[in-house]
Structure 1
Amino acid sequence: MPASPTHRRRPLTGLALRTVAATAVLGLTACSAATPMPTATTPGPTTATESPVPVGDTTTGTFTFGTAANPTGLDPALVADTESYRITRQMLEGLVGIDPLTSEPAPLLATSWEERNEGRAYAFQLREDVLFHDGEPFNAEAVCANFERWYTMPADTRVLDSTIAFESVFNAFSDSPEESVYESCQPLGEHEVLIRLSGVMTSFIPALALPAFGMASPKALAELNANELTVERDGRNLSEFALSPVGTGPFTFETWSDGEVTLSAFEDYWGVPGEIQTVTFRTIPHTDARLRALLSGEIDGYDLVTVDNAAELAREGQQILQRDPYSVLYLGMNQDFPGVDDELFRQAVAHAIDKPALIEGRFLNGTSPANQFLPPKLGVTSEEVAEYEYSPEIARDLLEEAGYDGEPLPFHYPRNVARPYLSSPEKVYAELSRQLTAAGFNIQPVPTAWSDGYLQTVQQDDNRAFHLLGWSGSYQDPDNFAGALFGGYSEEFAYRDNQLFSKIARAVTLPNGDERAAAYRDISESISVDIPAVPLAFPISAAVVSPRVLSYPVSPVMHEVFNHIDLADVEQPTAPAGS
C-alpha cells in the first residue's frame, strides 16, 4: 500500500527555492517545446483577509490564493471545474487519496482496502476517531449514505449531465441500474464497509481519489437539502449545501461572497494540522492582475502562470512551481452542426492545424503537441494513431470533396479565464482561427466569458461548429481521460460510436498489464480515425508563490491541500494524538 498522504516532504530552504525560481524562468519563457524542468516540491503563498499581508511578513498563518474564476459550486459531487475542486479538496476528503511522489492511490479516510469477489467488491477499513466539521462521526454508515446519495441522485439535480463524476466513472445512476457499475454499499462494522460492483472495474480505487467522491456529513446533506437546487448564484442553481459544505478535511467553510471564499483550520482534524489557520481564495480573472496582486502582497500565490508573466515573476524573486503535464487541450467539434458529421470535413480540420506553431510562444516550455488524448504520463501512448500532416492544401481539397460551401462556422472560445490546459485562450483562438481560415474555413468567432456559462454552452448548445476546451486529469488511470471524454454519447461532440463506447467499457475491466495497455492504445487509434475532436497539446501548467512559502504540495493531478504548505517562521500546531 502506498505511503499515507499525511507524509510531508522535507521543505526546501528559502535559498534552494529561490534557486529553483531563478533557473525555472529560463525554461518557462522559452518559445518552443523542450525538456521539462524537474518538478520540485515548492513553496506556498501567504494570505491576506481584510488587508494585504506584506510579502515577507512571517508572523501569521494566513494564506491568500488568487484563482482564475469563481467556483461553480462547493458540492464536489455536482461540479467538474478546477477552481471548485481546488476549494472543496480543502474541506472534503475521500476514502482514497493520492501519493504526493507517485500520484498513485494512497490511504486517506480508508486506511486500507481489500479486493473481493474477483474484483467485483472492495472492503475498506476506515480511519477511526474522525469527525465531520459539524461534530458528526465519520463511519461506515456515513460512507454508505454518500454512495447512495450519488447513486440515487434525482435527474433534476444532475444538471451537468455526463460531466458529473459519478456517471463518468460508474456509467449510470439508479434510474438505469442495468448500466451502472455501482451496485451497493454495506457496513460490515462501525469502521468497515463493503462496496459491491456489478462488474470488474480496474480504475475503481484510483477513481475514488476524485474530489467528487469527497465524504460529506450525512446530517448536513439532509439539513441543507443537498439534492434540491433552490438557490441561484452566478446564473447557476445550487443547493444550500453547495454554499456551505461540511466534510472531514483540514479546513472548514466560513464564507463565500464577492469573489472570495474563506476557510478556517478545523481544530479537530484527524491528520496533520499544518500551519495555515485561514485560507482565502480570491477570484482575479486576469493573469496580469493576479501578477500585480502577488507582487504587491495582496495574495500569496496563484495558479496558471502564463509565458508573458513568467520572466517578470522570476525577476521579482517569486517561486514558479511547474507540474508534470497531465491535461490535454483540444479543438472540439459538434457533429450535430451541418457538415461537421462528414469525416472528410473533420479530416480537413486536422490537416489545417500546425500544432508546433500553435504552441510556440503561447505555452510554457515542456508543452508538447498532442496526436492523441491520453497523456504520456499514463504509459499507454500509441505509435499507430492516424497522423494528419499540416497541409492547408490537403485541407482545401478535403473541404471541396466534402462539399463545404463556405458556410459560417461558429467557433466558441472562452474569455477572461485561465485553465490548466489553456492559460491564454484568446491568443490560442487567434492562431487557430488564422490557421483554419488560411485552409478555407469561414470562421465565425463566438467569444464567451467563462463566468457567463462558457462550459455549459459548449457542452449543450447546438449552434456551434467548433469550440476550444480541454481536460485535466484528477486520478492516474487511462479511463480518467478515455472514459470521461468519449465513454458515451455527449452533447459536446454529438459523437455516436457504440463500438468505441464498448471498447472503453471493456478496457476499464481489464487488469493492469499489457492487455489493458493494448486496449487503450487501440482506443486512441479509433479516436484518431473518427476525429470527434482534435487533440492539440499536452500543456505544462505552473503555479507561483511568494518567497515566504518554504514548501507547497505541487501535484500533477492538482491534489494540493493547504495543510501541507510550510511558511517561513510560522510555528506548526501539534497534531492530534494518534494521527
Structure 2
Amino acid sequence: MQQLRLTRTRRVALIGLAGALAVSLSACAESKREEGAGGGSGGTMIFGAAGNPKMFDPAFNDEGETFRITRQIYDTLIQNKPGTADLEPSLAEKWEPSNDGKTWTFTLKSGVKFSDGTPMDAAAVCFNFDRWYNMKGAAAQSQMIYYGDVFEGFAKNEGDAGGDPVYKSCEAKDPTTAVLNLNKAKGAFPAAFTLPSFAIQSPTALKQYNADQVTQSGDSFTYSEYANKHPVGTGPFKFESWDQGKGEITLVKNETSPTPAKLDKLIFKVIPDENARKQALKAGDINGYDYPNPADYGLLRNDGEQVLIRPSFNVLYLGINQAGNPKLQDVKVRQALAYGINREQFVKSKLAEGSEVATEFVPKVISGYTDDVTKYPYDPEKAKQLLKEAGADNLTLKFYYPTEVTRPYMPNPADTFTAISEDLKKIGIKIEAHAEPWNGGYKDDVQKFGKQDLHLLGWTGDYNDAGNFVGTFFGREKKEFGFNNPQLFSALAAADASPAGDAHAKAYQEVNKQIMDYLPAVPIAYPTPAIVVGPKVKGLVASPLTDERFNTVTVS
C-alpha cells in the first residue's frame, strides 16, 4: 500500500554528496587516535550548529537544530529514503492500512535493541504511542507541537490543547507486530510516521528519568533529566554529553544500532554567527555547517568546499497576528502588507540561486500546490490605498524577528527583517522592531503567547503532504495568527481526512485558494537552502527535508 501512495506524490530527489574536510590541528590528534584504534573507522566529525538544541526528547521539539541531533539518536517506524521525500522502512519492515484507513499494522524488524540494551519491540512501540496520547499537564501538551498537529488531541486535553484525538489504541500482537488503531482516517499517513517527533524511545529510560516532567515558569519551560542528559534510542549514535558552557554536544557510535555509524564520534559545536562558522570551516576547526550565506557559495567552492543546494521544500512567511492589533482583522490591511513587500527584489538579492517568490504556503513540489490562487504582486500605491480605505494609514506594528539562528528558509533573519520592514515603512507603516534569540524566547513569544503583530517564520516540510504545511499553520485557532475561521478549519480537516491520491491533492488545492483569499499571513519565498562540507568528508547525503543522517559519513 505504501508504494501506491508514493507513485501518486511528486518525488523529490537530491544527489548525495561526496568529498570532505580536513579536521583542525586541535582535533587532528584525537581523530587520528580514533581512526587507528577503530581499524579504518570514520573517525570524528565536528559539525557547526547555528544554535543550542532545545533538549533531546523529540516529542517536545519542533525546531531544526534539535532535530538534527535527535535524528542521529533515534529511529522512526518509517523514514525518508536518503536524498528524497520518498518512504522506506526503518524500524518497521512494512506497514499496511486497513481499507477504511483507521488501522495500521506495522511489521517490525526483529532483534533490535535500544542503546541501553532493552528490546525495541511491539510493546515498546505501543508504549511510545500511549505515552504521547496520555501525556498529562498543560505545559507538556503545549510543547508537543507535532503530536497536536497530527493526532489533534490527547486522552485529556489540558491548557490550550483541544480537538478530538485521532489516536485510539495500540496493540502488541506479538513482538514484531504493532497494530495502531485510529478514531478516524488521516490522509497524512503513512508519510507522517516519518516525523522525528514520533521517534521510538526506550520505555525503560523514559520511566527511569521521568521523561514526562515538563514545567513552565512564565515564558520558559524546563524539561526532564531524560530530555537533557539521558536520551536513549536505536539510532546510529548515542548521547555522550552536552557541555552547555562550551556549546558542544557529543555523540558516539551506537554499536547495537540496526544502521551503525561509520564515524566513532559526532560533535555538534554551537557557533551562532554564520560568518564565524564559515571561518571555522576554512580553519579546519569544523567539518561542515548548514545554511551558508548564498553570497558565499562561490568563495566556498573556490576554497574547495562542497556546497550542495537542496531543492526547495520550504516556505518563508510574514506572520500576522490578528489578535495583536484589531486593524489586522481587516483583510484590506493584510492585503496591503502583501502588496507592499517587494518579494521579487528580496528573493533576487537575499536568497540562494534557484529560490522563487512564494505564491502560497505550499511549495511547488508538494501535491496540492495550485497556481490558481489570488496573487499579490508588488504594488506600493495599491497598498497605500488599501490602508487608507481601512482607516489604517497611521498604523504602528510590533515586528518580531529571531537572532542567534540561521534557518533553511531564512539564512539571515536580520537581513530579512530589514528588507521587509523597509518596504512596509515605504507604504506608511511604523515599525517597532523586537529581536529575540531563537531558543531564548522568540518562538514561545510569537507562537505561544502572541506578543507580536508581525513576525518572521517559515517551515521546512517534514513529509510530502500539503497538510504538513497549511494544516500545521492554519488548521485550528493558534496564538501565532490570532484568528478564528471555522469555515477554513473545516475545509482543512476535510482535506486532511480525504484519501491519498488525486482527491487528496484536489482538496488541498481548493483550500489553498481559500487561504490566499483570506490571507492569514503573507508567503514570501520558496528558498533553496544549502549545506556545506569540506573536501575530505565522504558519504553525507543532503536531504530536501534537511533530514541528513550522519551514519554513512567518514572523514579522511
Same fold, judged at TM 0.5 (above): yes
Out of 113, 116, 120, the position equivalent to 2:98 is: 116
User: What SS is found at the alignment partner of 2:531?
Assistant: strand
State the shift of 1:54 in Å. 8.9
The runs of 5 or more residues in structure 1 that have no matched partner are: 4-36, 569-579
Match of 1:359 in 2: 347
State the shift of 1:79 in Å. 0.7
User: What SS is found at the alignment partner of 1:70?
Assistant: coil
Distance change (3 Å), C-alpha of 1:458 and 1:515? same
Match of 2:483 in 1: 495
Match of 1:323 in 2: 310
Matches within 5 A, 1:371-410: 371-410=359-398
User: What SS is found at the alignment partner of 1:454?
Assistant: helix
- Give the distance between the partners of 1:332 and 1:128, measured in 2 at CA: 46
TM-score (norm 2): 0.91
- Give the distance between the partners of 2:19 and 2:199, measured in 1 at CA: 23
Out of 48, 73, 79, the position equivalent to 2:61 is: 79
State the shift of 1:130 in Å. 0.4
Aligned residues between the structures = 532
Match of 1:217 in 2: 202
Match of 1:424 in 2: 412
Say whether 1:174 aligns with 2:155. yes
Match of 1:61 in 2: 43
Out of 210, 214, 238, the position equivalent to 2:223 is: 238
State the shift of 1:55 in Å. 13
State the shift of 1:200 in Å. 1.2
Matches within 5 A, 1:230-309: 236-243=221-228, 244-257=230-243, 258=245, 259-271=247-259, 273-309=260-296
State the shift of 1:156 in Å. 3.2
- Give the distance between the partners of 1:270 and 1:159, measured in 2 at CA: 31
C-alpha offsets along residues 207-228 of structure 1, whole Å, 9 cap, x if unaligned?
0100001000001010110111
User: What SS is found at the alignment partner of 2:328?
Assistant: coil
User: What SS is found at the alignment partner of 2:28?
Assistant: coil
C-alpha offsets along residues 64-121 of structure 1, whole Å, 9 cap, x if unaligned?
1001111111100001000000000001111111112542221100001111252110
Match of 2:214 in 1: 229
Match of 2:515 in 1: 527
- Give the distance between the partners of 2:450 and 2:536, measured in 1 at CA: 48
C-alpha offsets along residues 268-320 of structure 1, whole Å, 9 cap, x if unaligned?
1223x232110000110111100011111110000001123222211110001
Q: Say whether the 8 Å CA contact 2:367–2:465 is kept in structure 1.
A: no
- Give the distance between the partners of 1:81 and 1:362, measured in 2 at CA: 23
Residue type of the alignment partner of 1:137: P
C-alpha offsets along residues 315-340 of structure 1, whole Å, 9 cap, x if unaligned?
11000111111110000000012211
- Give the distance between the partners of 1:545 and 1:347, measured in 2 at CA: 42
Q: Say whether the 8 Å CA contact 1:326–1:538 is kept in structure 2.
A: yes
User: What SS is found at the alignment partner of 2:365?
Assistant: helix
Match of 2:39 in 1: none
Out of 70, 74, 82, the position equivalent to 1:92 is: 74
- Give the distance between the partners of 2:176 and 2:131, measured in 1 at CA: 19
- Give the distance between the partners of 1:201 and 1:415, measured in 2 at CA: 36
TM-score (norm 1): 0.88
Distance change (3 Å), C-alpha of 1:47 and 1:71? farther
What fraction of aligned residue pairs are identical, expressed as a percent? 37
Match of 1:15 in 2: none
- Give the distance between the partners of 1:72 and 1:126, measured in 2 at CA: 30
- Give the distance between the partners of 1:228 and 1:56, measured in 2 at CA: 38
Residue type of the alignment partner of 2:16: T
- Give the distance between the partners of 2:97 and 2:174, measured in 1 at CA: 17
Matches within 5 A, 1:182-201: 182-201=167-186
Residue type of the alignment partner of 1:40: I
Out of 538, 543, 551, the position equivalent to 1:563 is: 551
Out of 473, 486, 496, the position equivalent to 2:474 is: 486
C-alpha offsets along residues 103-154 of structure 1, whole Å, 9 cap, x if unaligned?
2221100001111252110111011010001110011110010001111111
Per mean C-alpha deviation after superposition, the further-off stretch among 481-490 and 532-541 is 481-490
The runs of 5 or more residues in structure 2 that have no matched partner are: 4-11, 37-41
Distance change (3 Å), C-alpha of 1:321 and 1:334? same
- Give the distance between the partners of 1:501 and 1:231, measured in 2 at CA: 29
Match of 1:41 in 2: 16
State the shift of 1:405 in Å. 4.7
User: What SS is found at the alignment partner of 1:437?
Assistant: helix
Say whether 1:536 aligns with 2:511. no
Q: Say whether the 8 Å CA contact 1:89–1:561 is kept in structure 2.
A: yes
Q: Say whether the 8 Å CA contact 1:46–1:62 is kept in structure 2.
A: no
RMSD: 2.4
State the shift of 1:418 in Å. 0.5
User: What SS is found at the alignment partner of 1:378?
Assistant: coil
User: What SS is found at the alignment partner of 1:444?
Assistant: strand
Residue type of the alignment partner of 2:232: V
- Give the distance between the partners of 2:70 and 2:47, measured in 1 at CA: 14
Match of 1:20 in 2: none
- Give the distance between the partners of 1:55 and 1:475, measured in 2 at CA: 38
Residue type of the alignment partner of 1:565: V
- Give the distance between the partners of 1:229 and 1:380, measured in 2 at CA: 37
